Amino acid sequence: MTSVDRSDVASLIDHTLLAPEATNADLDRLCQEGLDLEVAAVCVHPRHVGHVAARLAGQIPVASVVGFPSGAHRGDVKAAEARVAIEDGAREVDMVVSLGAVLDGRWAAVTSEIRAVRAVAPDSVVVKVIVESALLPDEALVRVCEVAVTAGADYVKTSTGFHPSGGATVEAVRLMRATVGPDIGVKASGGIRDATAALAMIDAGASRIGASATAAILDGI
């Protein structure tokens, strides 16, 4: 197991609140927790980016999901959603890829929508591509990661945490890291609720963790 301390792990976590019923009070609490725990970023829905960006005032980056959670949005809609989120203050964008296109092997369509989001995101904005790794056979997981890198992704990400197929696994993270190499980020997300799970993902090659149970994870370090 990789040897890390609490601050090392905190610096890899996107502290996340994606409950559709989240209130401004919930968002304020998320922001304060993110500041107190010194996380990598705070991740919210696009409609909340402006509020959260104002609350954090540049102290921690804001991440926004795009095409969430299904990925079944048109590419131009995902790009428009990303553009608005960036205008509102998002510095990271986590987009859900078209899962049907991946399963069909329609790689030109997958490439096109990722490139559309990348085109509206300045180089300073991190683009992560969510692939729902638990849904995919290994061959498709490898290919979609390759396509994401070619299309300009900075990270590939396992899961939304909302798909019935499941969340992140050590095996998927290991395969994704082997596919993209050392220079592209791998984000493990979905079902990571304690230190044991988080450290296993890091050991497998995750360079970012998506979690809502950040405090519980860090308490276990």
Q: Give average pLDDT by consecutive 10-residue segment, the chain, 221 residues.
A: 82 98 98 98 98 98 98 98 98 98 98 98 98 98 98 98 98 98 98 98 98 98 91
Q: Pick the closest to residue 71 from 135, 6, 138 (CA basis).
A: 135
- Whole domain around residue 36: which residue ranges? 6-219
What type of residue sits at position 219?
D
Residue 157 falls in the annotated catalytic set? yes
Half-sphere exposure of 2 (CA within 13 A, CB side): 18
Q: Decide if 62 is inside a domain.
A: yes
Q: Pick the closest to residue 200 from 152, 175, 158, 168 (CA basis).
A: 168
pLDDT of residue 34: 98
Which among 78, 88, 128, 157 is annotated as catalytic?
157
DSSP 97: P
Per the structure, how many domains does the chain have?
A: 1
Distance CA 192, CA 49 (A): 23
pTM greater than 0.95 (yes/no): yes
Structure-token match 């798909």, residue found:
163
| Cis peptide preceding 46, ω within 30 of 0 | no
Q: Decide if 204 is inside a domain.
A: yes
Which among 14, 88, 94, 154 is annotated as catalytic?
94
SS3 call for 21 = coil
What type of residue sits at position 164?
P
Q: Decide if 1 is inside a domain.
A: no
Looking at residue 180, which CATH number applies to its domain?
A: 3.20.20.70
pLDDT of residue 4: 80
- Alpha-carbon Rg of the chain, whole angstroms? 16
| Structure tokens given for 124 | 């300073």
Which among 187, 194, 203, 219 is annotated as catalytic?
187
pLDDT of residue 3: 66
Q: Decide if 61 is inside a domain.
A: yes
pLDDT of residue 52: 98
